[in-house]
Amino acid sequence: MKVLGITTQQEVYIGSRDRNFRINEFLIISDEAQGDLIGEIVEAKTFNRFIPLDMGGDFIDGSVIESLKVMGYDVSNETIYIGKLRLLKEAQYPVLTGSEVRIPKFEEVEKLLISTEPSRGLVLGVIKNTDDLTLNMDEKYLNLCKTFDEGEYFKQKDVPFILDYKSMHEYPHIGVFGGSGSGKSFGLRVVLEEIMQKQVPTVVLDPHYEMDFSVKSPAGADIDYGESFKCLQVGVDVGIKFEELSVGDIKNLLNTSSPLTDSMNNTVDILFVRGSNYYSFFNKLQNLMEAQEVGSVEKIEEKIFYAETKEDEEKWTDRKNLYQKYNATCPNQSVRGILWRLVKLFNEGIFNRDITELVDGLKVGKLIVIQGSTRIIQVFATYLLNKLYYQRREYRESVYRNEREDFFPPFIIVTDEAHNFAPKGFETPSKSILREIAQEGRKYGVFLILATQRPTLLDETITAQLNTKFIFRTVRASDIDTIREETDIATDEAKRLPYLTTGDVFISSAKAGRTSYVRIRASHTQTPHKENPFDELALIKSRDNEDFLKYISEFMPISTAVDSLDIIKSIYERHSVSYTIDQFNLKLKELEKNGLIEVEETFLGAQYKLKKN
Ligand SMILES: Nc1ncnc2c1ncn2[C@@H]1O[C@H](COP(=O)(O)OP(=O)(O)OP(=O)(O)O)[C@@H](O)[C@H]1O
């Protein structure tokens, strides 16, 4: 392998007669003047005599062809492999043409490729095309993971990719970008498995109900995550304690239910009293609304006068007071709107629980998965993240002040569909807290892992704070542009983004100052949605058919014209399963079509029989 053509300090062409180049493999140029220079292949081509070299287009120029000839290559008759090698560190001078190129030894690239020990980092996969480098690789880096491809598991044969999560302290926050089906959720699962192994307290917002780690995959038979995570459903296991809400919180919550008008905001300011419980706020709104509907103090007094019971009298007196106090400042429309939003939240069960179980889990280093519909998670997350972030902040600040507050651990927040929580261009309640954490979280040990299919729709301030970025296959041009702006990904790599294989990813790290090309390892667990819905359909159908066959076997042969009604009755009595005549006949036809029974046409119509075998 030799350096060809006119060279620069950043990039050179190299050629070989017998070795094909692979994208992102590492090679060393032995430059006589400058010593060893390490580079990475960013483009590779093969030429042979059927495709003359001068058709190379803009990939190679005339100087490359000329130097191939000078070095003794027969450009019109031989197969020649050519690669573009980008130096990892700019050379002092342009590289010497004709320099020898060789495969590095592991220790020559170890520092470049491996950022920390496996025990101190997250083993996320393997660095692609590095199998040549593993020849004398340290034992501690061997057999750390498996990869999964086309239904088969493979032993690790490349250098492992280990993410130094502790460096988040300096380079906080991770972004995970990729189009649908690119391997983003799978990648997130692997990251979370590793986080669980390190027992880092983590909150995962999971509107898709997919982050469950109880089902093992063949690659994780000996690892059990059962005790390391907990799924909690909003409104069932976790919720918001109404008494703890500030006026800001309640406005945020009502707003997520449906946006509040200025007048509604104002009305909440006037009516809400911190520390009151749900029912007292509800009653206040309800009573004021009813008083407003009566219309005037005189009319309410009439109601008091004609009240039939003491209770009624008190109720209307109360309403009169509210009316007198608030009618002028709180329009009926706004009171009504707030009440409607409040009841909607209440009906979702969000005020039924608190976050004690969640906080207890975090304190022992668990991964807490919050499940619920996208909307309810948005409502809850705003409250939750504010609460957790300020608790952690308060704890850290008390440490600075040498005071003793109860320990509250550092933690990570993970969410898919992050553009819904922090959209570009308009304000949402969850966005302000995420933005604050993106900018200030590092100081207090609160970190974000945000995944999205649409980086272009994610708030720019937040995107700019994501120091490590995982970029899976991305096809949309606008998203590729955003990725190019927001990462150090090179033009050559950006061009490859639409063609990346599912599960392959560019990991661009501010700490390393470079991008690695990685295959995400096989996950130890499986998503609960793994079953193909069409297989599920077939399975249910065949179970259904088997059951039906069991019910009818003893009545065979069956003449539909005479027997159906009696058999349907018997099946109902014995098995409590009911069929209409049409359903029963259709089921018989289906069984016959699937070859489970036989049919014969008789003068009485169709007669079904068990199959002879
Ligand atoms: N690293 C990998 N190794 C093996 N298989 C993978 C890998 N990554 C993804 N897959 C498989 O590819 C499929 C799609 O992956 P995944 O569900 O993660 O896509 P996605 O990008 O999250 O899509 P969406 O955003 O639509 O959910 C899954 O069936 C998964 O099993």
Flag whether pLDDT at 51 surpasses 70: no
261-273 as b/e: b if 16+ CB within 10 A: eebbbebbeebbe
Flag whether pLDDT at 55 surpasses 90: no
Residue 292 lies in a domain: yes
388 and 474 in one domain? Answer: yes
Distance between CA atoms of 313 and 296, rounded to whole angstroms? Answer: 16
Q: How far is CA 12 from CA 38, 102, 390, 449, in A?
A: 11, 14, 52, 37
* Range among 70-79, 127-136, 191-200 rated most confident: 191-200
Nearest CA to ligand 1 atom 7: 503
Nearest CA to ligand 1 atom 22: 185
Nearest CA to ligand 1 atom 31: 186
Which of 425, 503, 414 has its CA nearest to residue 450?
414
Domain's final residue, options 488, 520, 552: 520
295 and 342 in one domain? Answer: yes
193 and 296 in one domain? Answer: no
Q: What is the largest CA-CA distance in the chain?
A: 113
Weakest mean pLDDT among 43-57, 175-189, 251-265, 408-422: 43-57
* Range among 172-176, 295-299, 383-387 rated most confident: 172-176
Residue entry with tokens 């050379």: 91
For residue 530 and ligand 1, the question of a CB distance below 6 A is answered with no
- Strand 468-471 and strand 2-4: the pairing is unpaired
Distance between CA atoms of 47 and 21, rounded to whole angstroms? Answer: 12
596-613 pLDDT, tens digit per residue, is 898 888 887 888 988 776
How large is the average pLDDT for residues 488-505? 88
Contact call for residues 395 and 430 (beta carbons, < 8 A): no
Report pTM.
Answer: 0.79
How large is the average pLDDT for residues 558-567? 85
Nearest CA to ligand 1 atom 23: 181
Confidence of residue 229 (pLDDT cuts 50, 70, 90): very high
pLDDT at 50: 60
For residue 183 and ligand 1, the question of a CB distance below 6 A is answered with yes
**Does residue 557 have a cis bond before it (omega within 30 degrees)?**
yes
Beta strands per DSSP E along 510-610: 514-520, 558-559, 597-602, 605-610
How large is the average pLDDT for residues 402-425? 90
Ligand 1 pocket test, candidate residues 177, 185, 479, 530, most atoms within 8 A of CB = 185
ipTM: 0.96
DSSP state, residue 531: S
Give the amino acid at 612: K
Nearest CA to ligand 1 atom 14: 181
24: phi > 0 → left, psi -120 to 50 → alpha, else beta; which? Answer: left
Please, how many CA atoms are within 13 Å of residue 340, restricted to the half-sphere of its CB? 11
| CA dihedral (425, 430, 432, 437) positive or negative | negative
- Strand 202-206 and strand 367-371: the pairing is parallel
Residue 128 lies in a domain: no
How large is the average pLDDT for residues 584-595? 89
301 and 418 in one domain? Answer: no
Residue 98 lies in a domain: yes
Domain's final residue, options 497, 520, 543: 520
DSSP 3-state helix, strand, coil percentages of the chain (rounded to 5)? 45, 20, 35
79 and 95 in one domain? Answer: yes
pLDDT at 60: 64
Which has more pLDDT, 388 or 542?
388
Confidence of residue 307 (pLDDT cuts 50, 70, 90): confident
For residue 180 and ligand 1, the question of a CB distance below 6 A is answered with yes
- 29 by DSSP, 3-state: which? strand
DSSP state, residue 103: P
Residue 15 annotated as lining a ligand binding site: no
Which has more pLDDT, 61 or 102?
102
Which of 419, 441, 505, 454 has its CA nearest to residue 191?
505
Which of 275, 253, 274 has its CA nearest to residue 386?
253
Which of 27, 1, 14, 17 has its CA nearest to residue 129?
27
For residue 182 and ligand 1, the question of a CB distance below 6 A is answered with yes
Residue 125 annotated as lining a ligand binding site: no
Nearest 5°: the CA angle 301, 307, 308 is 170
pLDDT at 564: 86
Flag whether pLDDT at 448 surpasses 60: yes
Flag whether pLDDT at 248 surpasses 70: yes
For residue 453 and ligand 1, the question of a CB distance below 6 A is answered with yes
DSSP state, residue 355: S
Residue 452 lies in a domain: yes
Phi, psi (degrees; rounded to nearest 5) at 512:
-75, -20
DSSP for 417-431? SHHHHSBSSS--HHH
pLDDT at 140: 92
Give the burial class of 576: count Cβ atoms within 10 A of its Cβ; 0-12 exposed, 13-18 middle, 19 or more buried.
exposed
Domain's final residue, options 312, 332, 348: 348
- In three-state form (DSSP H/G/I as H, E/B as E, the rest C), the secondary structure along 428-464 is CHHHHHHHHHHHHHHHHCEEEEEEECCHHHECHHHHH
pLDDT at 538: 79
Please, how many CA atoms are within 13 Å of residue 595, restricted to the half-sphere of its CB? 1
Ligand 1 pocket test, candidate residues 502, 519, 524, 531, most atoms within 8 A of CB = 502
Q: How far is the CA of 187 from the centre of ligand 1 (A)?
A: 8
Q: Give the chain's domain count.
A: 4
**Token pair in block for residue 64:** 């490359």
548 and 501 in one domain? Answer: no
Q: What is the mean pLDDT of the chain?
A: 89
Residue 99 annotated as lining a ligand binding site: no
Distance between CA atoms of 396 and 402, rounded to whole angstroms? Answer: 10
Task: Give the helix/strand (H/E) hosting 612.
Answer: none
How large is the average pLDDT for residues 69-75? 75
227 and 271 in one domain? Answer: no
Residue 537 lies in a domain: yes
Contact call for residues 288 and 319 (beta carbons, < 8 A): yes
481 and 369 in one domain? Answer: yes
378 and 342 in one domain? Answer: no
- Whichever domain contains 220, its CATH number is 3.40.50.300
Which has more pLDDT, 447 or 81?
447
**Token pair in block for residue 154:** 């493979």
Segments forming the whole domain that contains residue 342? 242-348
Q: How far is the CA of 182 from the centre of ligand 1 (A)?
A: 6
Task: Give the helix/strand (H/E) hosting 346.
Answer: helix 332-347
Phi, psi (degrees; rounded to nearest 5) at 246:
-90, 170
82-99 pLDDT, tens digit per residue, is 899 999 889 999 999 889
84 and 33 in one domain? Answer: yes
Residue 103 lies in a domain: yes
Residue entry with tokens 């180049």: 21
Residue 184 annotated as lining a ligand binding site: yes
Residue 178 annotated as lining a ligand binding site: yes
Residue 156 lies in a domain: no
Task: Give the helix/strand (H/E) hosting 30.
Answer: strand 26-31
Nearest CA to ligand 1 atom 26: 180
Contact call for residues 103 and 131 (beta carbons, < 8 A): no
Q: How far is the CA of 209 from the centre of ligand 1 (A)?
A: 15
Weakest mean pLDDT among 141-150, 259-268, 370-379, 444-453: 370-379
9-40 pLDDT, tens digit per residue, is 999 999 888 888 988 899 999 999 999 999 99
Confidence of residue 259 (pLDDT cuts 50, 70, 90): confident
281-294 pLDDT, tens digit per residue, is 999 999 999 999 99
Which of 389, 436, 368, 414 has its CA nearest to residue 122?
414
Q: How far is CA 62 from CA 50, 54, 65, 76, 171, in A?
A: 19, 8, 5, 14, 44
Q: Which residues pair with 514 in a beta bridge?
A: 509
pLDDT at 353: 85
pLDDT at 156: 94
- Whichever domain contains 548, its CATH number is 1.10.10.10
469 and 368 in one domain? Answer: yes
How large is the average pLDDT for residues 118-122? 93
Ligand 1 atom at minimum distance from 186 CA:
18
pLDDT at 491: 82
Flag whether pLDDT at 453 surpasses 80: yes
DSSP for 146-190? EEEETTEEEE--SEEEEE-GGGGGTS--EEEE--TTSSHHHHHHH
For residue 523 and ligand 1, the question of a CB distance below 6 A is answered with no
Confidence of residue 52 (pLDDT cuts 50, 70, 90): low
Flag whether pLDDT at 221 surpasses 90: no
374 and 233 in one domain? Answer: yes
Q: How far is the CA of 341 from the centre of ligand 1 (A)?
A: 38
For residue 326 and ligand 1, the question of a CB distance below 6 A is answered with no
Residue 141 lies in a domain: no
Q: How far is the CA of 54 from the centre of ligand 1 (A)?
A: 41
Ligand 1 atom at minimum distance from 189 CA:
18
